[in-house]
């Protein structure tokens, strides 16, 4: 059975910043959803995130044939691999694009962005991850995180150097270990999952998930995409709004 997607997105500058360096994309027709959190001075973060999102969209649209194959019911290994490669290659193309812009414009050198992307095709979902924005799956009233943060403290937790409690107050908790555009290549984490009617997804930048407990996500997502994104942004601002805030909610039926 095919699933239908309905989505909403909202981005806010927050209470402490003057420029919104986040970017996002919702395309129900392509089954493509992206959030990106840019970094770099002189508005470079804003450029990096927008260029990355635009490039991912362009590349996925070019690879639409591989997605239609999966959407049509072909879940063979070759077809699934091609769909994953389409999204992964799109993020790699964004990496090269942002890096090339920075090399050609000295004032923008060092800019980069996170990218968290979700691609839905038929009964298959694919995620691609670079950085510390996040994608959550909400199923059966419970939210589970599909992505791993590429940060120094996440690595320190994995290695047993820090406890989660110590990581929460670490002065290095915003240090990202992977970004789109800081070099001409980046390792992209991908994941494949089966999707079903009733599933929902939250994609968000750290300006939101930094204020959220996982247990708060599902009840808000249950409000529906439009109401949920408004509530998520309001909650982040109510709790401090120290960073730009972006939320994308996708509901499947």
pLDDT in tens, 76-100: 999 999 999 999 999 999 999 999 9
Closest CA to 55 of 109, 16, 100, 14: 100
SS3 state at 165: helix
Structural tokens at position 12? 């806010």
Host domain of residue 157: 5-252
pLDDT in tens, 5-62: 999 999 999 999 999 999 999 999 999 999 999 998 666 999 999 999 999 999 999 9
Q: Are the C-beta atoms of 134 and 145 separated by less than 8 Å?
A: yes
The per-residue pLDDT for 2 is 64
Based on its alpha-carbon atoms, the radius of gyration of the chain, rounded to whole angstroms, reads 17
160 or 118, higher pLDDT: 118
- For the chain, give the percent of residues with pLDDT over 90: 83
Query: How many CB atoms are located within 10 Å of the residue 1 CB?
Result: 6
Going by the DSSP 8-state scheme, the letter that residue 51 receives in this structure is H
The per-residue pLDDT for 164 is 78
Overall number of domains in the chain: 1
The per-residue pLDDT for 173 is 66
The per-residue pLDDT for 150 is 87
Q: What is the CATH number of the domain that holds 35?
A: 3.60.40.10
The per-residue pLDDT for 217 is 98
pLDDT in tens, 119-167: 999 999 999 999 999 999 999 999 999 999 987 777 676 777 878 777 6
pLDDT in tens, 226-252: 999 999 999 999 999 999 999 999 999
The per-residue pLDDT for 41 is 66
Helix axes 44-62, 77-104, angle to 10 degrees: 150
Output the furthest CA–CA distance in the chain (Å, rounded): 51
């Amino acid at each position: 059975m095919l699933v239908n997607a309905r989505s909403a997105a909202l981005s806010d500058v927050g209470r402490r910043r003057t420029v919104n360096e986040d970017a996002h994309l919702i395309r129900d027709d392509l089954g493509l959803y992206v959030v990106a959190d840019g970094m770099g001075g002189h508005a470079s973060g804003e450029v990096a995130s927008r260029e990355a999102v635009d490039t991912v969209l362009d590349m996925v649209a070019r690879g639409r044939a591989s997605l239609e194959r999966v959407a049509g019911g072909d879940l063979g290994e070759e077809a699934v691999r091609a769909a994953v490669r389409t999204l992964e290659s799109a993020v790699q193309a964004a990496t090269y694009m942002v890096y090339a812009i920075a090399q050609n414009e000295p004032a923008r050198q060092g800019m980069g962005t996170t990218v968290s992307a979700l691609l839905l095709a038929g009964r298959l979902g694919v995620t691609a991850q670079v950085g510390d924005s996040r994608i959550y799956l909400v199923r059966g009233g419970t939210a589970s995180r599909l992505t791993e943060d590429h940060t120094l403290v996440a690595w320190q937790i994995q290695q047993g150097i820090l406890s989660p409690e110590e990581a929460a107050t670490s002065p290095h908790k915003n240090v990202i270990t992977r970004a789109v555009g800081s070099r001409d290549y980046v390792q992209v984490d991908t994941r494949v999952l089966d999707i079903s009617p009733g599933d929902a997804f939250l994609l968000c930048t750290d300006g939101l998930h930094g204020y959220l407990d996982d247990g708060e996500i599902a009840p808000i997502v249950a409000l529906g995409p439009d109401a949920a994104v408004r509530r998520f942004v309001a909650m982040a601002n109510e709790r401090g709004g120290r960073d730009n805030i972006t939320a994308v909610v996708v509901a499947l039926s």
